[in-house]
């Protein structure tokens, strides 16, 4: 599934791929059609609560609303445990993470 989002002042298409489904949860991979350069430190600072997560050179890993999130700086994301198990919810989380709009 494809969605047009705005990040860093420009429009970018993101694809969402469903990786797995179990119970009422789903795992998703989201990636842009062009390579981005996300500020993963800023994303981590904004969304990590109580030191919940870690940031390495190329990825931020944290938990948001019970979803395990991995954000790579080029814009690839892995969301594990998305509820409800829909692409819509995955995109909603993506928008929050990259502050689309």
Partner 1 sequence: MDTAVLRERFPALRNSRGIYFDNAATSLVPDDVLGEVARYSREFSVNAGRGAYSLATKLTVEIDEARERIADFIGVEPCEIVFTANTTDAINKLALSLKYKPRKSIAVTHLEHHSNLLPWRLVSERNDIPLQLIRYTPQGIIDVNHAEKTLRRNCQLIAFTAASNVLGTVQPVKELTNLAHEKGVLVVVDAAQWAGHFAMNLKDWDCDFCAFSAHKMCGPTGTGILYVRKEVQKQLSPIFLGGGTVGDVTDEVMKLKDFPYCFEPGTLNIEGIFGFAAAVKFLSEVGMDDIEKRVSGLHRHLLGGLSEIEGVITYTPKDVDNAGITSFCIKGLTPHRTASIFDRKGKLMLRSGYHCAVPLVKSLGNGKGTVRASLAFYNTAEEVERFLEITDEIVKEL
CB of 4 or CB of 24, closer to partner 1: 24
- What is the closest distance, in whole angstroms, from the C-beta atom of residue 81 to partner 1 in the complex? 7
Segment lying near partner 1 (by CB under 8 A), choices 2-10, 41-49, 64-72, 82-90: 64-72
Is residue 99 a contact point for partner 1 (CB under 8 A)?
no
Is residue 40 a contact point for partner 1 (CB under 8 A)?
no
Q: Which of 4, 1, 7 is nearest to 71 (CA)?
A: 7
Sheet holding 10-22: strands in order across? 2-7, 10-22, 25-32, 77-82, 67-72, 59-64, 53-55
Q: What ranges make up the beta strands (E) of 1-101?
A: 2-7, 10-22, 25-32, 53-55, 59-64, 67-72, 77-82
Segment lying near partner 1 (by CB under 8 A), choices 7-15, 22-30, 32-40, 45-53: 22-30
- Using CB under 8 A, list all residues that contact partner 1: 19-22, 27, 29, 56, 58, 61, 68, 70, 72, 76, 78, 80-81
């Amino acid at each position: 599934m494809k969605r047009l989002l705005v990040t860093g002042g420009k429009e970018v298409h993101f694809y969402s791929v469903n990786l797995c489904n179990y119970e009422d949860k789903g795992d998703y991979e989201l990636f842009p059609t062009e390579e981005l350069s996300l500020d993963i430190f800023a994303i981590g600072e904004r969304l990590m609560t109580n030191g919940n997560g870690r940031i390495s050179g190329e990825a931020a890993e944290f938990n948001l609303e019970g979803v395990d999130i991995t954000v790579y700086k080029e814009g690839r994301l892995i969301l594990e445990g998305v509820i409800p198990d829909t692409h819509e919810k995955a995109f909603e989380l993506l928008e929050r993470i990259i502050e689309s709009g």
